[in-house]
Amino acid sequence: MIVAAVRRAPVLLWSVVLALLVGWPWLRDGLVLAYDMVWVPRWDLTRPDLWGLGSALPRAVPSDAVAAVVSSLVGSTVAQRVALFGGLLLAATGGARLVPRASTAARLAAATLAVWNPYVAERLAIGQWPMVLAYGALLWLTAELRSGRPRLHVVTLAVVGTALTPASGVMGAVVVLVLLARRGAGRLLLATALVTMANAPWWVASLLGSSLPPDPAGVELFALRGQGLLGHLGAALSLGGIWNGEVVDATRGAFPAVLLVVGVWVVAVVGLVARRGSLGPLGVLAATGLVIACAGWLAPGAMERLVEACGPAALLRDGARFLALAAPLLVVGFGRGIDVALGHARRHGLAAVPIVVGLLLPVAALPGLVSGVGGRLEPVTYPASWDEARTVVAASDVPGDLLVLPFAAYRAPEWNGSRPVLDPAGRFFPRPTVVDDRLLVDGTIVRGEDPRAAQVRVALSSDDPPRALADLGIGLVVLDTTAPEADEARTLVVGLERLGGSDLVVLQVPEVAVDRETALPARVLVGAGWSCFTLLLLVGVGGTVRDVGRAMRSSGTRARADESP
């Protein structure tokens, strides 16, 4: 046990170093807001959309609910730091666990590449913190299932970690099915039940919802994008290629960076060729991830027809997300390649060279990941006007939901450094909130899927918007007067009674006709899904705590034995 602890210590310490190199700005007070990363100081646990009972697709289920529950226990700032640093630490330690029999230098190299790659950088920059956490859990899941005797509680906890979003939940299912395909029908059946239960919160909510058909036009807009000299395929093979070019590191695709990326590939190929083993399942995972990632680029027409015929296939539109499935093979190859190089270098007294290469090559290939992804992820504090508006909303006894104007999905407020972020008002206020779910990508609007948001758009364009909003059950309107489109939005709510607020003005819609209620059967079914998720989470955490307790008792027994005469 002591030997194992000593063997793990360098990996743990290096993982902490990597996480701090990326996230040292997060040690400051405030919340990080960027694109899809929306955290609020106080979450309202009674909001139905938090649990998948809203009218929109449950894209943030169960991640938002997990964030809300943890925030209610330790505060939002601490909870967000646990999520961000936790994702990086899981990725680093999971990468090292993929090469358990390799040298310490090789495991450190695998940990480095597992964190320091475009996938992590781009998903962090676009604010997809649940995807980064799920990516780390996916590496742990892969490593555990490849071990001789997988521990059920570790597999369970890792599967729950991958289930934080619908897309990552699908990836977790793929990993389980591929890696257990040869272990008999019994284990495969058990694994299928495990994956189904872990992902129950979002798939149950999806089945019960009445969302609009997804927009096939999103296939091309969200497709894998080439990055400079790397092109499309090079970007994918290096775990990059996100659709939003604004979050891509400026050095990606430049000649020096491409040379360093090629260096990573060379080391990985050497490791995969020289140390043959049971890499077939990892190859299947990598091929699956690459095919999905490249489908929207290579065959957009076929993908569009698939999305039209099968709505859930819209999960595949942002195909670059599925490159997480290719990460284990690349990480294993890189770690083993450093091991091979180390064996040759030692014969010539040059052991330090492959060690330095393993630790620094991935970092040099992507320098923009350091310091909060090149300063993109800086903590900020919500202005006092937001708390003022929240107090007004909480005190109001007007029935109905809340509408945020201007009706647009993203904001770029000055208090957030003018960085784009999904409108925080959608989560900030203590009552169900309707926000626009359409996306503007390269000048093209991707149609939303929330029927309630579509109804609001029609109401706002009617001859009498206040009356139409009342008929839809909208009781309050929050007008962001600092937004560029505020003047236009103000004309839509002329005559509404002002309840309070300064920068965010709270308005009352008179004579609300509808007070929406979720049907009891839907609440029961969604509750059952959450019960499955919670049960598995408790099983995983309980088993982990038990293992830690055993390890501590064993270490204490050994220490006392060493001290006895």
For 223-260, the pLDDT digits (tens) are: 999 999 999 999 999 999 999 999 998 889 899 999 99
CB 178 within 8 A of CB 171: no
Tokens 């694994």 label which residue?
Answer: 191
d(CA 459, CA 514) in angstroms, rounded, equals 14
CB 92 within 8 A of CB 111: yes
Phi, psi of 404 (to 5 degrees): -105, 130
Closest Cα to residue 318, out of 440, 437, 221, 203? Answer: 221
224 in the same domain as 83: yes
Q: What is the average pLDDT value for the chain, to the nearest integer? A: 92
Q: Is residue 294 part of a domain?
A: yes
Instruction: Output the pLDDT for position 160.
Output: 98
Q: What's at 543, amino acid-wise?
A: G
Q: Which residue has the higher pLDDT, 74 or 311?
A: 74
pLDDT of 200 > 80? The answer is yes
Q: Is residue 214 part of a domain?
A: yes
315 in the same domain as 400: no
d(CA 386, CA 459) in angstroms, rounded, equals 26
Q: Is residue 88 part of a domain?
A: yes
CB 489 within 8 A of CB 483: yes
pLDDT of 565 > 60? The answer is no
d(CA 236, CA 239) in angstroms, rounded, equals 5
Q: For the chain, what is the largest distance between any 2 Cα atoms, rounded to a whole number of angstroms?
A: 92
d(CA 253, CA 226) in angstroms, rounded, equals 9
Instruction: Output the pLDDT for position 233.
Output: 97
366 in the same domain as 395: no
| Cβ neighbours of residue 406 closer than 8 Å, sequence gap 6 or more | 480, 483, 484, 485, 486, 488, 489
Could you please report the per-residue DSSP string of 421-468? EE-THHHHSSS-EE----EEETTEEEPP--HHHHHHHHHHTSS-HHHH
286 in the same domain as 173: yes
Instruction: Output the pLDDT for position 57.
Output: 85
363 in the same domain as 239: yes
pLDDT of 6 > 90? The answer is no
Could you please report the per-residue DSSP string of 534-553? HHHHHHHHHHHHHHHHHHHH
User: Which of 183-192, 331-340, 347-356, 551-560 is predicted least confidently?
Assistant: 551-560
45 in the same domain as 154: yes
Per-residue model confidence as pLDDT tens digits over 348-378: 888 899 999 999 999 999 999 999 999 999 9
The proportion of the chain whose per-residue pLDDT surpasses 90, expressed as a percent, equals: 81
Directed axis angle between helix 152-162 and helix 520-563, to 10°?
140
268 in the same domain as 155: yes
8-state DSSP, 50 = G
79 in the same domain as 221: yes
Instruction: Output the pLDDT for position 495.
Output: 86
Two structure tokens written together for 144: 């555990």
Q: What's at 198, amino acid-wise?
A: A
Q: Is residue 252 part of a domain?
A: yes
Q: Is residue 516 part of a domain?
A: no
Q: Is residue 286 part of a domain?
A: yes
Tokens 């939940």 label which residue?
Answer: 169
User: Which of 283-292, 341-350, 500-509, 554-563 is predicted least confidently?
Assistant: 554-563
Instruction: Output the pLDDT for position 65.
Output: 97
Per-residue model confidence as pLDDT tens digits over 376-415: 999 999 999 999 999 999 999 999 999 999 999 999 999 9
d(CA 370, CA 21) in angstroms, rounded, equals 6
What mean pLDDT do residues 112-123 have?
98
166 in the same domain as 48: yes
Domain boundary residue among 358, 379, 400? 379
d(CA 56, CA 50) in angstroms, rounded, equals 11
Instruction: Output the pLDDT for position 209.
Output: 80
Closest Cα to residue 175, out of 89, 78, 284? Answer: 284
DSSP-assigned beta bridge partners for residue 506: 478, 500
What mean pLDDT do residues 141-166 have?
95
DSSP-assigned beta bridge partners for residue 402: 433, 476
13 in the same domain as 139: yes
3-class SS letters over 75-134: CHHHHHHHHHHHHHHHHHHHHHHCCCCCCHHHHHHHHHHHHCCHHHHHHHHCCCHHHHHH
Closest Cα to residue 481, out of 466, 455, 501? Answer: 501
Domain boundary residue among 359, 379, 399? 379
Phi, psi of 35 (to 5 degrees): 50, -110
d(CA 272, CA 299) in angstroms, rounded, equals 30
Closest Cα to residue 448, out of 175, 213, 185? Answer: 213
Per-residue model confidence as pLDDT tens digits over 14-47: 999 999 999 999 999 999 999 999 999 999 999 9
* CA-to-CA dists, residue 254 to 22, 238, 314, 366, angstroms: 22, 14, 32, 11
CB 248 within 8 A of CB 122: yes
427 in the same domain as 372: no
The proportion of the chain whose per-residue pLDDT surpasses 70, expressed as a percent, equals: 95
Instruction: Output the pLDDT for position 330.
Output: 98
Q: Is residue 550 part of a domain?
A: no
Rounded to two decimals, what is the model's pTM?
0.95
Domain that holds residue 425: 382-508
What is the total count of domains within the chain? Answer: 2
Q: Is residue 523 part of a domain?
A: no
Tokens 């929406």 label which residue?
Answer: 516
**Strands 401-405 and 410-411, how do they pair?**
unpaired
CA 182 to chain centre: 30
Domain boundary residue among 339, 354, 379? 379
pLDDT of 550 > 90? The answer is no
Which helix (DSSP H) or strand (DSSP E) does residue 355 occupy?
A: helix 352-365
Q: Dihedral sign, CA of 45, 48, 49, 52?
A: positive
Q: 348 burial class (0-12, 13-18, 19+ CB within 10 angstroms)?
A: exposed
| 3-state SS class at 34 | strand
What mean pLDDT do residues 417-425 have?
95
417 in the same domain as 496: yes
Cis peptide bond prior to 281, omega within 30° of 0: no
Instruction: Output the pLDDT for position 376.
Output: 95
